[in-house]
A = this chain, B = another copy of it.
Amino acid sequence: MTEPRFQRRKEDRPAEITAAALAAFAENGYAATRVDDVAKRAGVSKGLLYLYFKTKEELFKAVIRSFISPRIDALISNVEETELSAEEFLRGPFLEFACSIPKSPARVLLKLMVAEGPKHPDLIAWYWEHVVSRGITALRMLIQRGVKNGEFRESALDEFPQLLVTPIFFSLLWKLLFQPHSELDTDQFIGAHVDMVLTTIKAETA
């Protein structure tokens, strides 16, 4: 007659706890987040949480890893397999990806990385290896492909592919800090930047 007090759902618990933790960390930061609060959000007791994650720190690392990996993997395989020209790719899938980031709920990850990253060197190392350096490499390949087939001329972008993504991070920071004070139309903002970059590096075709 009585509802069971809980269900046993070994498979789903880690993902549920991780999602709850992302929300909590995003709201309060790592140090100010109470493990009890995470457990409550996940609808679980603190004891169970500690069954799946050895410490608060382990939980934090799991959060970062589980939310970032899928996105970057998608972009990179996209770059490698596309049949579009470099410019078409930059104006198409890349721009779409770039514009989606500041809107995604995962944008709070930047806050977490900045605030807590430096205290977890192995996390930074993982992030560098699996996300950043792979991303940079993919971008550089894309640009060089453009140079090789005469679409682009040689430019600072060859050395600094990061110049393409600066407005993404700026938009993230802006939204994180000044959301209520000022709207930034991130689509237009990022679009204008990509446009500017392409204008300067496009080989003359007149």
Binding site for B on A (CB under 8 A): 28-32, 110-111, 113-119, 124-125, 127-128, 132-133, 155-156, 159-160, 162-163, 165-167, 169-170, 173-174, 176-178, 181-182, 184, 188-189, 192-193, 195-197, 199-200
Contacts and interface: CB of A to CB of B under 8 A. Distances in A.
B163 A196 contact: yes
Contacts of A155: 196
Majority-rule SS of A interface residues: helix
A160 B177 contact: no
A110 B156 CA distance: 27
B177 A118 contact: yes
Most buried by B among A176, A188, A196, A197: A196
A145 B177 CA distance: 29
A114 B176 CA distance: 7
B196 A200 contact: yes
A177 B29 contact: no
